[in-house]
Chain A
Amino acid sequence: MADDKRPCLEVQNLVVEFPNRHGTLTALNDVSLSIAPGEILGVVGESGAGKSMTGLAILGLLERPGRVASGDILLEGRSIVGLSDNEMEKVRGREIGAIFQDPLTSLNPLFTVGSQLGETIRQHLPNTSKAQARTRAIELLREVGIPGPDERVDHYPHQFSGGMRQRVVIALALAARPKLIIADEPTTALDVSIQAQITGLLRRLCKENGTAVMLVTHDMGVIAETADRVAVMYAGRLIEIGPVEQVLKNPSHPYTRGLMASIPALGARVEKLNQIDGAMPRLNAIPPGCAFNPRCREAGPRCRQDLPVLAPTPAGMAACWLHNGGVA
Chain B
Amino acid sequence: MLVFIIKKLANALLVMLTVAFLAFLIFRLAGDPVDMMSTEQTTQADKELLREKLGLNDNFFVQYTRFVANAAQGNFGISYRNGQEVLGLIAERFPATMELVIVATILSLLIGLPLGVLTAIKRGAWYSEILQFGSIIGVSLPSFVVGILLILVFSVSLGLLPAFGRGDVVELGWWSTGFLTRTGLLALILPSISLSLYQVTLVMRLVRAEMLEVMRSDFVKFARARGIPRFRIYFRHALRNCLMPVVTLTAMNIGTLIAFALITETVFQWPGMGMLFIQAVTFVDIPVMAAYLCIVSFIFVFLNTMVDILYAVIDPRLRGAQ
- Check B228 against A123 for contact (C-beta < 8 Å): yes
Q: Is A120 an interface residue when CB atoms closer than 8 A count as contact?
A: yes
A120 cross-chain contacts in B, Cβ below 8 A: 226-228
Within the complex, what minimum Cβ distance (angstroms) separates A176 from chain B? 8
Contact status of A105 and B316, CB under 8 A, knowing A61-B224, A124-B227: no
8 A Cβ contacts from B239-297 to A: 240-241
CA distance A97 to B227 in the complex (A): 9
- Check A100 against B227 for contact (C-beta < 8 Å): no
Q: Is A59 an interface residue when CB atoms closer than 8 A count as contact?
A: yes
Interface string of A138-160 (1 = CB under 8 A from B): 00000000000000000010110
- Nearest B residue to A124, CB-CB: B227
A94 cross-chain contacts in B, Cβ below 8 A: 227
Within the complex, what minimum Cβ distance (angstroms) separates A215 from chain B? 16
Q: Is B40 an interface residue when CB atoms closer than 8 A count as contact?
A: no
- Check A158 against B229 for contact (C-beta < 8 Å): no
- Check B224 against A92 for contact (C-beta < 8 Å): yes
B154 cross-chain contacts in A, Cβ below 8 A: none
CA distance A163 to B316 in the complex (A): 20
Contact status of A110 and B240, CB under 8 A, knowing A100-B221, A100-B222, A156-B317: yes
- Check A123 against B229 for contact (C-beta < 8 Å): yes
Within the complex, what minimum Cβ distance (angstroms) separates A28 from chain B? 18
**B interface majority secondary structure:** helix
- Nearest B residue to A98, CB-CB: B225
How many interface residues does chain B have, given as a range? 20 to 34
8 A Cβ contacts from A85-117 to B: 85-86, 89-94, 97-98, 100, 102, 105-111
Q: How many A residues touch B, CB cutoff 8 Å?
A: 33
Contact status of A93 and B226, CB under 8 A, knowing A110-B240, A158-B317: yes
Q: Is A172 an interface residue when CB atoms closer than 8 A count as contact?
A: yes
- Check B315 against A123 for contact (C-beta < 8 Å): no
- Check B218 against A102 for contact (C-beta < 8 Å): yes
B320 cross-chain contacts in A, Cβ below 8 A: 159
CA distance A205 to B218 in the complex (A): 24
Query: Which one of B222, B230, B240, B241 contacts A169 once the chains associate, using CB atoms below 8 Å?
Result: B222
B240 cross-chain contacts in A, Cβ below 8 A: 110
- Nearest B residue to A109, CB-CB: B317
B38 cross-chain contacts in A, Cβ below 8 A: none
- Check A108 against B241 for contact (C-beta < 8 Å): yes
Q: Which of B227, B314, B316 has most A Cβ within 10 Å?
A: B227
CA distance A319 to B230 in the complex (A): 40
A-B contact count (CB 8 A): 77
CA distance A241 to B240 in the complex (A): 44
Contact status of A119 and B219, CB under 8 A, knowing A110-B241, A158-B316: no
Q: Which of B218, B219, B315, B320 has most A Cβ within 10 Å?
A: B219
Q: Which of B217, B228, B230, B317 has most A Cβ within 10 Å?
A: B228
Interface string of A205-242 (1 = CB under 8 A from B): 00000000000000000000000000000000000000
- Check A108 against B226 for contact (C-beta < 8 Å): no
Query: Which one of B225, B232, B241, B315 contacts A100 once the chains associate, using CB atoms below 8 Å?
Result: B225
- Check A93 against B317 for contact (C-beta < 8 Å): no
CA distance A106 to B226 in the complex (A): 11
A90 cross-chain contacts in B, Cβ below 8 A: 227
Contact status of A123 and B226, CB under 8 A, knowing A105-B217, A105-B219: yes
B180 cross-chain contacts in A, Cβ below 8 A: none
B81 cross-chain contacts in A, Cβ below 8 A: none
Q: Is B8 an interface residue when CB atoms closer than 8 A count as contact?
A: no
A124 cross-chain contacts in B, Cβ below 8 A: 227
- Check A105 against B227 for contact (C-beta < 8 Å): no
A61 cross-chain contacts in B, Cβ below 8 A: 221, 224-225
- Check A59 against B225 for contact (C-beta < 8 Å): yes
A59 cross-chain contacts in B, Cβ below 8 A: 225
CA distance A123 to B225 in the complex (A): 12
Contact status of A92 and B225, CB under 8 A, knowing A110-B315, A158-B316: yes
Q: A107-B219, A173-B226 are in contact. List 12 more A-B contacts (CB 8 A).
A: A92-B227, A93-B225, A100-B221, A100-B225, A108-B241, A109-B317, A119-B226, A120-B226, A123-B228, A156-B317, A158-B316, A172-B222
The 7 closest A-B pairs by CB, nearest first: A93-B227, A98-B225, A105-B218, A92-B227, A93-B226, A106-B222, A156-B316
**Chain A interface (Cβ within 8 Å of chain B)?**
59, 61, 85-86, 89-94, 97-98, 100, 102, 105-111, 119-120, 123-124, 156, 158-159, 169, 172-173, 175-176
Q: List 30 A-B contacts (CB under 8 A).
A: A59-B225, A85-B230, A89-B229, A89-B230, A91-B227, A92-B227, A93-B226, A93-B228, A97-B225, A100-B225, A102-B218, A105-B217, A105-B218, A106-B218, A106-B222, A107-B219, A107-B222, A108-B219, A109-B315, A109-B317, A110-B314, A110-B316, A111-B237, A123-B227, A123-B228, A124-B227, A172-B226, A173-B225, A173-B226, A176-B227
